A and B are shown apart, each in its own frame.
Chain A
Amino acid sequence: MRERILYALGAIAGLWLARNLYVILLGLPDEAAQGAIYRILFFHVPGWITCFTAFLLAGISSILYLIKSDPRYDTFAVATVEVGIAFTVIGLVTGSIWARIIWGIWWTWDPRLTWALITCIIYMGYLMLRRAIDEPTTRAKNAAVLCIFSFASVVITYKAIDWWRTQHPGAVLSFRTGGGSIDPLMESMLFQNAAALLLLAAVLVAVRMRQEEIGREVESLRRHAHAI
């Protein structure tokens, strides 16, 4: 039953994204200054919204693990971090393609870009640390501590466009600017796509959690077999 619900939600997310793509490509007009390439921002910004949400939830889950020592919180943290990293890569790649067209370069060491890359590296370090520890409780505990530390880089990435006004465009969404810097139609489409990506991410997290749970079961059975 759980699988069926997941597949259904995944299908809804897929259809929703396809419908959004149709509206983005054919329904919305070109942007006045940037032309057609601005459409990539409908995936770039929602990609970052999704990855920041994933890392925030991973941080909260890690704190809860340290308080309650329930392995389900650790499972949730690792699943969200993995999905978060996938969306970080989507954010970096879409940003890079946009930059190639608008700025003429794939990459620049602008603070926002740099911090985004650092965040990606830090969370990859989180996954590396998990791989390096065999004992499940120590792994969960140490990974939770690292996850809490890592969240600092997410905050810095989020605030980088306010703290350092350099090449990366500033905030445009109305909840940060108070409105007026983005067409309401475009902003609504951006949030719709963010919602579809968040749903997709939730499905991926659920699938990944199931895999982790099965992995844990296999591990405990193996230990049991060794003990016998």
Chain B
Amino acid sequence: MLFLRQTATIALKDLRSEFRTKESLNAAISFAVVILVLFSFAVDPTADQIREISGGLLWLVFAFAGALILNRSFARELGNDCLDALVASPVPGAALFLGKASANYVLLLIVELVSLPIFGVLYNMRWTRQPLMLAAVLALATWAVTVIGTVFSALTVNLRLRELMLPTLIYPMMIPALMAAMRLTTLLIAGEGIAADDWIWVRLLIGFDVIFTSLAVTLVEVVLVG
């Protein structure tokens, strides 16, 4: 119970601090919109083509914009040695990690929920044909992106080339989750539903979430404290 309260305290602290300045959120949302707009110049697709690549396009946008939020997650604690204070506080590393991951999760979901209608308008696409399943896929895949991003954000926080290293490390690591999310999102936006063959992707997402969350929670103490 105490662990949950500590996790919630960290998450709320991060969210409060982010909502006061909105520096990551504004940057991530603007970046997502810019990529969505730029993409329309890269190709001139028909409605069918857009439907086929919608999952890939959206998840690239989410992953790129997400890196901006994830990068700031631990880096914002560097000023005034706040990270040292957090590590020295009686909060266990796992609670600190889960709190930060939860805050990042909420922020990433906000970016996604803002990007989706913009995608729908710009590319003339109805994306609400399977709302519940789409929400479930977003929830699972966003957690996958968040958990990998947050643990690597902790790993790279003290590096000189932090902004460069984080994306280089997290994108290859996220590929299983992104692949599954892209495939499922494309199906759901096309309104097709998930066929029996495609449930393997849902299982892959769940497996990815469980395995990497457990690994991250186990190892984060080492990363933060040593």
Show the binding face of A for B, using Cβ within 8 Å.
66, 118, 121-122, 125, 128-129, 132-133, 137-138, 141-142, 144-146, 148-150, 152-153, 156, 163
Contacts and interface: CB of A to CB of B under 8 A. Distances in A.
Interface stretch (B29-37, B122-130, B166-174): B166-174
B168 A145 contact: no
Q: How large is the interface on B (under 10, 10 to 19, 20 to 34, 35 or more residues)?
A: 20 to 34
Interface of B: 151, 155-156, 158-161, 165, 168-169, 172-173, 175-176, 200, 211-212, 215, 219, 222-223, 226
A145 B222 contact: yes
B155 A152 contact: no
Given A125-B172, A146-B155, A141 B215 contact: no
B226 A121 contact: no
A132 B155 CA distance: 11
B168 A141 contact: no
B165 A129 contact: yes
Nearest to B176: A156
B172 A145 contact: no
Among A125, A138, A144, residue most surrounded by chain B Cβ atoms (within 10 Å): A125
B145 to A, nearest CB: 14
B173 A122 contact: yes
Contacts of A128: 165, 168-169
Nearest to B219: A145
Contacts of A146: 155, 169
A152 B161 CA distance: 25
A45 B168 CA distance: 28
B172 A148 contact: no
A144 B223 CA distance: 10
Contact of A125 (B169, B200, B212, B222): B169
Contacts of A133: 158-159
B165 A118 contact: no
Contact of B172 (A66, A129, A132, A153): A153
Contact of B168 (A125, A148, A150): A125
A128 to B, nearest CB: 6
Given A118-B172, A132-B159, A66 B211 contact: no
A144 B175 CA distance: 21
B222 A66 contact: yes
Given A122-B172, A153-B172, A141 B160 contact: no
Contacts of B151: 145, 149
A152 B204 CA distance: 13
A145 B151 CA distance: 10
Given A129-B169, A141-B223, A149-B173, 18 more contacts: A118-B175, A125-B168, A128-B165, A128-B169, A129-B155, A129-B159, A129-B165, A132-B165, A133-B159, A138-B158, A138-B226, A141-B222, A145-B219, A146-B155, A148-B219, A152-B173, A152-B211, A153-B173
